[in-house]
Chain A
């Protein structure tokens, strides 16, 4: 189990991370999501021992540090050399040599789908192929903890599939993973846990299933003409969401009844009245008031 204990990091007056607390259980895939500049890379660079001056602690409970495979956000490869040379280099750094090294490189080349390009210069690769190799290099030594910083940025669907396959394979081997992404769907599909990070703060975290259930069961989505005005008159507590509002409630059926009654009293039929089943995306919006998608489009 990996524990991030009250980790803070500042760049001058800019606080990149603020008192981050996370517990990453062994053998799980932990998603980390947040807008540009929220501190994701900073946090995982601290976990990967790249940034070594920070406040707080990184603890490994019930075991040693173990080996670590870090996949950087930027492609860091020797681009004037071949894919195989790159893989073997990272294997050698971790003490692999001889035929185990060759075999492992071959195995990884197969997994990342670059066997037929193994002896080509990396410069000649497409962006997606470089991304795959970037991941492969971090897996040469069979690490126990794998940290991936936005591994699917700017790749085509084919490369994306390869990357998902690799992650799923690692999950089957019960490796611990930290997966940073901008894409909620990826986190929802690949990860067991998620932490939302915004401006250096963890705003929510937990098991994805549990989080979705928790938030889904306690809200009702309501949409009608002037719904906000109407509801404030009737003393409802609500939050605007998309073109309607969400009403937090412990008893959704009761809220439904109240809203139906309200509609009847004011003689209109709501455009929409439904149990609010948020996706991670909505959850994030609810928690931070920022839409990740817009943010990222602006950021890029």
Chain B
């Protein structure tokens, strides 16, 4: 399993597009938002708190694109078939490949948060709980990424699906604008989506930002959506393997 994790990590580090989506674009977006919407340092901290938690959840969605591309390529280039002739177990293949993406998401969120803490005086009240929410977000997104990847016919499926998810959640879950300011019907939609809970889960441990949902509920929702992702993956992996090996 670890050789797979290592090689996947190497591939992803080499891939400049991942760096762009996970770090460069979020940072630029956050800076622009802060500069546009704040005049003094108190406002800066407030806007930073909103945008860093929001963008952490928003941009981590884009890792799904990388997951889908990686799995579809492995299937189409015959790597899955080739590995089937080795002692590598099927579950080691999936797990090994997922670990780098899981770590990428965690690092991304922590890095963006660090920017907020050091540059914009964001106060995190409970680092351990903040980390737990981050880990849960990463597990959930990775599971969705794999689920989409296993059903995707082409790499484009990943692109389209991710963009739909990103767009819908951006509008309804309060990632771009504070949730309280959204019209009621959008709030209703946002309320059932994991992104809302992910965001509120982070917000709850940022003292410079009002609102937030309790850790228990957030954990439950995110675990629930992760289970959904894993269940879909379990159903889909046979088709993926079959397609890859014939």
Chain A contacts to B: CB under 8 angstroms: 11, 45, 48-52, 68, 70, 72, 74-78, 80-81, 85, 89-90, 92-95
> Could you tell me the distance between the alpha carbons of A79 and B7 in the complex, rounded to whole angstroms?
12
Q: Are A45 and B15 in contact (CB under 8 A)?
A: no
Q: Point out the residues of chain A lying under 8 angstroms from B88, CB to CB.
A: 93
> Could you tell me the distance between the alpha carbons of A52 and B245 in the complex, rounded to whole angstroms?
9
In the complex, whether B78 has a CB less than 8 A from a CB of chain A is: yes
Contacts A50-B245, A81-B14, A93-B88 known; A76 to B82 CB distance under 8 Å?
Answer: yes
Report B199 CB to chain A, min CB distance, Å: 34
Contacts A51-B245, A92-B3 known; A68 to B85 CB distance under 8 Å?
Answer: yes
Q: Are B78 and A72 in contact (CB under 8 A)?
A: yes
Contact of B79 among A48, A76, A81, A92 (CB under 8 A): A76
Report A91 CB to chain B, min CB distance, Å: 8
> Could you tell me the distance between the alpha carbons of A89 and B88 in the complex, rounded to whole angstroms?
12
Q: Point out the residues of chain B lying under 8 angstroms from A94, CB to CB.
A: 86-87
Q: Point out the residues of chain B lying under 8 angstroms from A52, CB to CB.
A: 245
In the complex, whether B153 has a CB less than 8 A from a CB of chain A is: no
Report B83 CB to chain A, min CB distance, Å: 7
Q: Are B3 and A93 in contact (CB under 8 A)?
A: yes
Q: Are B3 and A49 in contact (CB under 8 A)?
A: no
Q: Point out the residues of chain B lying under 8 angstroms from A93, CB to CB.
A: 3-4, 83, 86-88
Most chain A C-beta atoms within 10 Å of own C-beta, residue among B4, B79, B83, B85: B85
Excluding A50-B245, A78-B11, 10 further A-B contacts by CB distance (< 8 Å) are A11-B246, A45-B245, A48-B84, A50-B81, A72-B81, A74-B78, A75-B78, A76-B82, A77-B77, A92-B6
Please list the 3 inter-chain residue pairs (A to B) with the smallest Cβ-Cβ separation, ordered nearest first. A92-B3, A76-B78, A70-B85
> Could you tell me the distance between the alpha carbons of A68 and B88 in the complex, rounded to whole angstroms?
13
Q: Point out the residues of chain B lying under 8 angstroms from A81, CB to CB.
A: 7, 10-11, 14
Closest to B81 in A: A50
Most chain A C-beta atoms within 10 Å of own C-beta, residue among B2, B4, B82, B87: B82
Report B113 CB to chain A, min CB distance, Å: 30
Q: Are B87 and A76 in contact (CB under 8 A)?
A: no
Report A127 CB to chain B, min CB distance, Å: 15
> Could you tell me the distance between the alpha carbons of A220 and B84 in the complex, rounded to whole angstroms?
49
Q: Point out the residues of chain B lying under 8 angstroms from A11, CB to CB.
A: 246
- Contacts of B142-193 to chain A: CB distance below 8 A: none
Contact of A48 among B7, B11, B77, B85 (CB under 8 A): B85
Q: Point out the residues of chain A lying under 8 angstroms from B15, CB to CB.
A: 80
- Contacts of B3-40 to chain A: CB distance below 8 A: 3-4, 6-7, 10-11, 14-15
- Contacts of B32-91 to chain A: CB distance below 8 A: 77-79, 81-88
> Could you tell me the distance between the alpha carbons of A74 and B79 in the complex, rounded to whole angstroms?
10
Report A146 CB to chain B, min CB distance, Å: 11
Q: Point out the residues of chain A lying under 8 angstroms from B245, CB to CB.
A: 45, 50-52
Q: Point out the residues of chain A lying under 8 angstroms from B14, CB to CB.
A: 80-81
> Could you tell me the distance between the alpha carbons of A94 and B4 in the complex, rounded to whole angstroms?
12
Most chain B C-beta atoms within 10 Å of own C-beta, residue among A48, A50, A77, A92: A50
Q: Are B77 and A80 in contact (CB under 8 A)?
A: no
> Could you tell me the distance between the alpha carbons of A93 and B2 in the complex, rounded to whole angstroms?
9
Q: Are B84 and A49 in contact (CB under 8 A)?
A: yes
Q: Point out the residues of chain A lying under 8 angstroms from B11, CB to CB.
A: 78, 80-81
28 pairs, A vs B, C-beta closer than 8 Å: A45-B81, A48-B84, A48-B85, A49-B85, A50-B81, A50-B245, A51-B245, A68-B85, A70-B82, A70-B85, A72-B82, A75-B77, A76-B78, A76-B81, A77-B77, A78-B7, A78-B11, A80-B11, A80-B14, A81-B14, A89-B3, A90-B86, A92-B2, A92-B6, A93-B88, A94-B86, A94-B87, A95-B87
